[in-house]
Amino acid sequence: MKVAVVGATGMVGNVMLKVLEERNFPVSELLVVASQKSVGKELTFKGKSYKVIGMQDAVNQKPDIALFSAGGSTSKDWAPKFAEAGTFVIDNSSQWRMDDHIKLVVPEINAKKLTKSDKIIANPNCSTIQLVAVLAPLHSRYKIKRLVVSTYQSVTGTGVKAVRQMENERNGIKGEMAYPYPIDKNCFPHGGTFAEDGYTTEEIKLVNETRKILGDNSIRVTATVARIPVVGGHSEAVNIEFENDFDLNEVRTILTDTTGVVVLDDVTKNIYPMPLYSEGKDEVFVGRIRRDLSNEKSLNLWVVSDNLRKGAATNAVQIAEYLVNNKLV
């Protein structure tokens, strides 16, 4: 399998290479691809050094699969060119997610909808992936009416520049700012850019992508995104109102039996999900499972996952694995 990783020098691109190696994906030929300024740099995969090549060079080599993590504008320009060359593009940007003709995929939920004609496949936003992983089985059983989601997002979701800002602040070093304010010892309700209605692009993604993946536009969703000074993953406080009542023990059983989800929920022993625990892991962790005492048929959850792995790189590789295992590529 000839595989290209586009945006290989970035934070998610690096993790994509790591996940491909860890999961022993059948790579017979690897292309590491980045912008022109990175061409010629060297990256390591399975102990071998690879030189970074440019976009057109990669298109010309017609890879079977291209994992994209190079930003929306790059994806808009180049994903169709790869697709025209016969490549399956799995794109981590927001460019194609809400396109009616492009499938937005979390493999455990809706990979079965993929066909050989789906040359561009959208990887959802990191916050959405971990959210819907938990919601999908509950929606199937009880039907979700309304969601209220508050996220506490890692600086790694912004990228290397943000991680460096936090590290500089912790070490008393003045440096380049990824955010409008200090992030260390701070928390601000700002992820993405603000729209005219006062919501941020990160919040809007959570609303729209959740509905699309669950295939139900009747679900009412509202979200608040906050950035916090951690690196291990995103956390979410989720309030779910169902059409039908539920049993807490059944909820725990459903989630325990859900592929890719791990229940950590024993408050008597202070066991609950944390970014400190999720870092470097591929599962979505859920805990603090409790009935909302203020509203009937409503449930509170706490959901945590490593946003660079299941929230980005691992989900993309799992899509690629589905394509290979089901002989779509």
Cβ(149)–Cβ(131) below 8 Å: yes
- Helix or strand or coil: residue 234? strand
Indicate whether 162 and 44 sit together in one domain: no
Taken in order 225, 221, 306, 213, the sign of the CA dihedral is negative
In sequence order, which ranges of 69-184 are alpha helices (DSSP H)? 72-84, 107-110, 126-142, 160-170
Indicate whether 110 and 141 sit together in one domain: no
> What's the pLDDT at 273?
98
Q: Which DSSP symbol is given to 311?
A: I
Indicate whether 58 and 97 sit together in one domain: yes
> What's the pLDDT at 205?
96
- The arrangement of strands across the sheet holding 234-242 comes to 220-227, 144-153, 234-242, 298-305, 284-291, 261-263
Indicate whether 66 and 133 sit together in one domain: no
CATH number at residue 38: 3.40.50.720
Query: Cα-flanking dihedrals φ and ψ of residue 126, to 5°?
Result: -55, -45
DSSP element (H, E) containing 29: strand 29-33
> What's the pLDDT at 206?
97
Count Cβ atoms below 10 Å from residue 11 Cβ, excluding itself: 20
pLDDT in tens, 129-166: 999 999 999 999 999 999 999 999 999 999 999 999 99
Indicate whether 184 and 244 sit together in one domain: yes
> What's the pLDDT at 116?
97
Count Cβ atoms below 10 Å from residue 329 Cβ, excluding itself: 16
Indicate whether 212 and 236 sit together in one domain: yes
- Structural domain boundaries, residue 300: 127-307
In sequence order, which ranges of the chain are alpha helices (DSSP H)? 11-22, 55-60, 72-84, 107-110, 126-142, 160-170, 201-214, 248-256, 275-278, 314-325
> What's the pLDDT at 283?
98
Indicate whether 89 and 220 sit together in one domain: no
Catalytic residue list: 126, 234
Cβ(39)–Cβ(53) below 8 Å: yes
Indicate whether 116 and 137 sit together in one domain: no
**Identity of the amino acid at 250:** E
Indicate whether 72 and 190 sit together in one domain: no
Cβ(213)–Cβ(110) below 8 Å: yes
Q: Which of 19, 3, 6 is nearest to 72 (CA)?
A: 6
Indicate whether 69 and 101 sit together in one domain: yes
Q: Which of 284, 207, 322, 297 is nearest to 244 (CA)?
A: 297
Record the pTM: 0.96
Indicate whether 101 and 190 sit together in one domain: no
Q: Per-residue pLDDT for the chain (329 aa), expressed as one digit of tens each?
A: 999 999 999 999 999 999 999 999 999 999 999 988 999 999 999 999 999 999 999 999 999 999 999 999 999 999 999 999 999 999 999 999 999 999 999 999 999 999 999 999 999 999 999 999 999 999 999 999 999 999 999 999 999 999 999 999 999 999 999 999 999 999 999 999 999 999 999 999 999 999 999 999 999 999 999 999 999 999 999 999 999 999 999 999 999 999 999 999 999 999 999 999 999 999 999 999 999 999 999 999 999 999 999 999 999 999 999 999 999 99
Residue 118 Cα distances to 31, 50, 80, 208, 303, angstroms: 21, 29, 12, 21, 31
CA dist., res. 261 & res. 247, Å (int): 19
Q: How many domains does the chain have?
A: 2
Give me 39's structure tokens: 């061409």
Indicate whether 47 and 81 sit together in one domain: yes
CA dist., res. 155 & res. 234, Å (int): 9
Count Cβ atoms below 10 Å from residue 42 Cβ, excluding itself: 9
Q: Which of 6, 37, 7, 3 is nearest to 21 (CA)?
A: 3
CA dist., res. 246 & res. 321, Å (int): 35
CATH number at residue 253: 3.30.360.10
